């Protein structure tokens, strides 16, 4: 299979570095290789190199903020969406409780003021592990964690959230992702945020998969916090951002030098942030055309896969309830890992779910939450598309899967 074409259909795991990001980063990387400081100084230093770096950093921050309709001061630069998710859940909850005079690090033995009702955090059962594990940290610190279940189509509905909110005695924070990374299911985060606010809770959304694939406005949706990733939209890895609405209570989770307005310490990666901003701008400007392109290819892929007798199309991604770039199917009787490796041998890169846990042999927690039986869920294959995916890529992938399962 050495001469097989290479088809990359795992864009939900990571996107190739975009031309816009590479070009934007090049001057900073080349200067560094030449031993020059210009543009690569410490943005917190007082000298010329530091001031130049600070100007570059703030210009990039403005560009990122503009793509989600935020203020630049509301953008906290991070190492990625995983850090942003962790910071949002733990930092906001600690900030809220500190404002009320409670130290959550001591569980039921909290120092200072205590609550008559147990404080709780509400997350959906289909969140990325970055959110679920952060919620578990809070649980170990004495915070009640409640889960919102999706419906059989993988969608977290306002009705489901309302039901959980009714059962919560003291909700502090709700966290529900905008677009699921395994099924492509969308959530109406504007309506979900409104429900959270009515119950006195703040609202966070992991928008890693939605960013660059659909319009995002923090003003329109009313969210209090939003997690973003650079490498999912063609920017460099190791960079991300947390939108934190002005005056949202927050305790910094990384302390030290006081960078990012004392909300996230650590010397900023100038070249990385510049690349992130360039990718964000490009994806924002190309959003309408790229989304239409991906939707057309998604529909072509779904139609081709649906013709294979072994494939179970358990959801229809052509519905408006799903994003434009993900097609997930089940192949009962086959193991996901086997199919992925066989497709890889034929030059097709796909995934079995979340890239952070795709080596696990346990079924996807997302599919389990949807009520899909273990034996069926173990045959999950996720195809995800990008703006440079072609019809030829789609047809080759379908043909290779047909060859494997015949």
Catalytic residue positions, numbered: 356
Residue with tokens 């609202």: 203
Residue partners of 218: CB distance under 8 A and separation at least 6: 68, 69, 70, 74, 226, 243, 245
What gap in Å lies between CA 298 and CA 95, rounded to an integer? Answer: 42
* Strand-pair partners of 174: 122, 203
What gap in Å lies between CA 153 and CA 251, rounded to an integer? Answer: 36
Q: Which contiguous run of DSSP H or E holds residue 377?
A: helix 374-377
Residue partners of 204: CB distance under 8 A and separation at least 6: 88, 89, 92, 173, 174, 175, 223, 224, 225, 226, 227
Is residue 224 within 8 A of residue 204, CB to CB? The reply is yes
311 closest CA partner among 225, 405, 246, 218:
405
Cite the DSSP H helix spans in 186-239.
189-198, 218-221
> In this structure, what token pair is assigned to residue 19?
């031309």
What gap in Å lies between CA 52 and CA 209, rounded to an integer? Answer: 33
* Phi, psi (rounded to 5 degrees) for 214: -155, 155
What gap in Å lies between CA 194 and CA 55, rounded to an integer? Answer: 36
Find the farthest-apart pair of alpha carbons in the chain and give their distance in angstroms, rounded: 68
* Strand-pair partners of 8: 349
């Amino acid at each position: 299979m050495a001469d097989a074409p290479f088809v990359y259909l795992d864009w939900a795991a990571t996107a190739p570095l975009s031309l816009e990001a590479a070009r934007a980063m090049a001057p900073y990387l080349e200067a560094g290789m030449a031993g020059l400081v210009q543009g690569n100084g410490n943005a917190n230093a007082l000298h010329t190199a530091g001031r130049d770096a600070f100007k570059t950093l703030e210009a990039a921050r403005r560009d990122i903020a503009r793509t989600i309709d935020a203020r630049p001061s509301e953008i906290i630069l991070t190492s990625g969406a995983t850090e942003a998710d962790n910071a949002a859940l733990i930092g906001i909850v600690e900030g809220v409780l500190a404002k009320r005079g409670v130290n959550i690090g001591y569980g039921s033995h909290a120092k200072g003021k205590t609550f008559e009702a147990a404080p709780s955090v509400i997350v959906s059962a289909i969140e990325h592990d970055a959110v679920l594990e952060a919620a578990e940290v809070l649980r170990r610190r004495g915070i009640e964690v409640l889960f919102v279940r999706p419906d059989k189509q993988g969608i977290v509905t306002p009705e489901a959230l309302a039901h959980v909110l009714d059962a919560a005695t003291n909700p502090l924070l709700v966290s529900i992702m905008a677009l699921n990374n395994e099924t492509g299911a969308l959530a109406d985060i504007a309506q979900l945020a409104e429900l959270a606010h009515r119950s006195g809770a703040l609202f966070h959304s992991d928008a890693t998969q939605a960013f660059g694939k659909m319009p995002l406005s923090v003003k329109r949706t009313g969210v209090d916090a939003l997690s973003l990733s650079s490498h999912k939209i063609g920017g460099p890895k190791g960079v991300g951002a947390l939108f934190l609405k002005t005056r949202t209570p927050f305790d910094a989770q990384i302390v030290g030098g006081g960078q990012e307005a004392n909300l996230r310490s650590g010397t900023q990666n100038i070249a990385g942030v510049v690349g992130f901003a360039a990718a964000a701008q490009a994806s924002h400007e190309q959003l309408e055309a790229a989304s239409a392109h991906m939707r057309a290819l998604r529909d072509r892929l779904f139609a081709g896969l649906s013709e294979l007798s072994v494939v179970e199309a358990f959801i229809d991604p052509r519905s408006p309830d799903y994003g434009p770039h993900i097609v997930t199917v089940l192949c009962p009787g086959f193991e996901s890992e086997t199919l992925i490796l066989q497709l890889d041998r034929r030059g097709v890169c796909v995934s079995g779910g979340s890239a952070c846990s795709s080596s696990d042999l346990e079924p996807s927690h997302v599919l389990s939450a949807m009520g899909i039986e273990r034996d069926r869920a173990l045959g999950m294959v996720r195809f995800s598309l990008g703006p440079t995916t072609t019809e030829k890529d789609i047809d080759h992938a379908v043909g290779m899967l047909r060859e494997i399962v015949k």
